[in-house]
DNA sequence: TAGTGGTCTAGACCACAAT
DNA sequence: TTGTGGTCTAGACCACTAC
């Protein structure tokens, strides 16, 4: 590493290979040079070679497997179209539709329990903190690999004592919130989604099998029947496997 | 580091401080122990202490400054509400409104030039590859700090020879695409946005001053007048400074 | 001047994968 | 058995910051 271009050695090595990956000179699944090969090629110590590889891994451009090597990541994204998700008459939950369109076999794990609403959840549902809500945690899988988690909260005041009190049980199990609420005469007519991104929590890394360097998309979604919030949930999806599409009407003000 | 819990030392140290940060035990701007303090506390070498700090930095939980130390990052997000952005009669570009609502002083840099449409841009605008488009690159700043870049493409066939051919010049400079198109009798009535997340490119890190470990949100947006796309653009925003809100009507299908 | 983080060298042992 | 990446030690020099 004799030439000095104002950047540290590891950054220059990372830059070189980033260009090769992004231009397609190194297509997906191509192996990168081993750490010792990089040491020879650039005349640096192993730490520096590793650091360069680490940068690319943290950018999500490559993945590494011990004993095998580093490989260019392939990027393909499932499309989640908000407008298609929220249809009153669909008989299955929106996720199943997404998966079918992508040619994947969907699977949903769900478990629910009542609990007292936290301050945050109470605000989102326009109820009092401490009021009872039914919390349901979901994990969605496509072809056996987990691809989305969701934690949903519904006021027990709406569903308590009805056949649809628990989303994963009863006659409308797996049918989706909108259909279940419809069966109670509650007609959801609006969904509000707030999208953010961040690094995954360790628990999310486990639950969703997220490789190092991949951020997650988080969606805070609240469903409204008129002015009344009837469900709110937190959705977490791996950022490299999904694209979210929204259609917004342009109004006259 | 005598106790062994199945995780490498650096991961355990990172876990300890991640918990302290996420639970609020270490509030924003709190300094973390220095590397040598971590070496003493856990009985590890400097490399390991640094690695632990590096994990937290890559997760966006802390930021480090040479000669000063590591500090818990403060997280506050600007809200970008899609429904409020797309109003035909607003006199300023949507970004200025976002900024004003957040109490920030907005500033917009823009530069445009004609060029031949790439395959991708041509598909998005439903024109032929090679057709001339006007490309405008924007950089949006709030209180002097860059907060969003955008690269916009408009078919020259729509705007060529009119006073609004270049977005940053003419009578409607800074008024936004929708107003400019309106002045030509082209009435935008729909926006389609596709949101993804990824690590920033080096150029984006520079242009947006993105700290290590922060992903970006990318929005591919196309504006339609009826069935006709009239503008498409690629928006890049730092993932830690924005939340995107969308309102979706629930239809009967 | 002392302390901080940023970079780097030269080793070492381990688990895993391919042969 | 050989090569790979994963972890770790014990040093070193530098630039920047605070005092």
| Tens of pLDDT, residues A81-122 | 887 778 776 667 777 777 777 777 888 889 999 999 999 999
In this complex, do B250 and A188 lie within 8 Å of one another by their Cβ atoms?
yes
Residue B89's CB: how many other CB atoms inside 10 A?
10
- Name the 3-class secondary structure at A223: strand
What pLDDT does B134 receive? 96
Helical ranges in A78-219 per DSSP H: 82-85, 94-101, 119-125, 156-159, 177-182, 202-208
The phi and psi torsions of A201 (rounded to 5 degrees) equal -75, 160
d(CA A79, CA A249): 20
- The band of A6, judged by pLDDT with boundaries at 50, 70 and 90, is low
Token pair of B97, please?
Answer: 């409104």
pLDDT of residue B235: 96
pLDDT of residue A219: 96
Nearest nucleotide to B9, CA against C1' atoms: D7
pLDDT above 60 for A128: yes
More confident residue, A33 or B96: A33
Query: Could you tell me which chain A residue has the CA closest to the CA of B239?
Result: A197
Q: How far apart are the first and last CA of chain A?
A: 60
Q: Which of A220, A236, A142, A230 shows the shortest CA–CA distance to A179?
A: A230
Distance (Å, whole) CA A65 – CA B218? 29
**Could you report the per-residue pLDDT of B116-154, keeping only the tens digit for each?**
999 999 999 999 999 999 999 999 888 888 889 999 999
Mean pLDDT, residues A46-50: 92
What pLDDT sits at residue B90?
Answer: 63
On whether the CB atoms of residues A70 and A32 are closer than 8 A, the answer is yes
A-B Cβ pairs (cutoff 8 Å, strict): 155
Contact present, B187 and B171 (Cβ < 8 Å)? no
d(CA A219, CA B191): 20
Q: Which residues of chain B have pLDDT under 50?
A: 2-3
Q: Within 7 A of a protein CB, which nucleotides of strand C?
A: 3-12, 15-18
Alpha-carbon torsion (B24, B57, A63, B202), positive or negative? positive
Paired tokens of B10: 């650096």
Footprint of strand D on the protein (CB under 7 A): A 32, 34-37, 46-47, 50, 53, 64-70; B 1, 8-11, 43-48, 51, 65-68
Cα-based distances in Å from B193 to A99, A126, A243: 21, 29, 10
pLDDT at A84: 73
- Residue B228: strand, helix, or coil: strand
* Mean predicted lDDT score pLDDT of chain A: 88
* Per-residue confidence (pLDDT) for residue B84, from 0 to 100: 73
The runs of H, that is alpha helices, within B31-168 are 35-42, 46-58, 82-85, 94-101, 119-125, 156-159
Residue B203 contacts by C-beta under 8 Å, 6 or more apart in sequence? none
* Cα distance between residue A233 and residue A221, in whole Å: 5
Judged by CB atoms closer than 8 Å, whether chains meet at B194 and A250 is answered as no
**Residue B3: per-residue pLDDT:** 44
Give me the residue label for tokens 């080096």: B202
Q: What is the largest CA-CA distance in chain A?
A: 75
Tokens, residue B179: 């107003």
Residue B232 region by backbone torsions, left for phi larger than 0, else alpha for psi between -120 and 50, else beta? beta
């Amino acid at each position: 590493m004799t030439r000095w271009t104002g950047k540290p050695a590891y950054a220059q090595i990372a830059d070189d290979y980033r260009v090769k990956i992004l231009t397609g000179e190194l297509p997906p699944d191509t192996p990168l040079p081993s750490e010792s090969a990089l040491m020879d090629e650039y005349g640096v110590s192993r730490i520096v070679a590793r650091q360069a590889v680490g940068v690319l891994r943290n950018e999500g451009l490559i993945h590494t497997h011990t004993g095998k090597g580093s490989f260019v990541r392939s990027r393909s994204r499932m499309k989640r179209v908000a407008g298609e998700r929220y249809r009153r008459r669909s008989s299955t939950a929106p996720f199943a539709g997404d998966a079918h369109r992508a040619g994947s076999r969907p699977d949903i794990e769900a478990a629910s329990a009542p609990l007292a609403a936290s301050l945050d959840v109470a605000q989102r549902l326009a109820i009092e903190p401490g009021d009872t809500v039914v919390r349901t945690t979901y994990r969605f899988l496509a072809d056996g690999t987990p691809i989305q988690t969701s934690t949903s909260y519904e006021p027990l005041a709406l569903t308590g004592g009805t056949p649809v009190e628990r989303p994963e049980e009863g006659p409308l199990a797996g049918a989706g919130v909108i259909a279940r609420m419809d069966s109670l005469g509650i007609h959801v007519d609006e969904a509000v989604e707030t999208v953010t991104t961040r690094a995954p929590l360790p628990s999310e890394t486990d639950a969703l099998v997220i490789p190092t360097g991949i951020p997650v998309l988080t969606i805070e979604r609240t469903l409204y029947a008129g002015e009344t919030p009837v469900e709110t949930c937190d959705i977490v999806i791996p950022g490299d496997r999904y694209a979210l599409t929204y259609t917004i009407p342009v109004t006259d003000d």
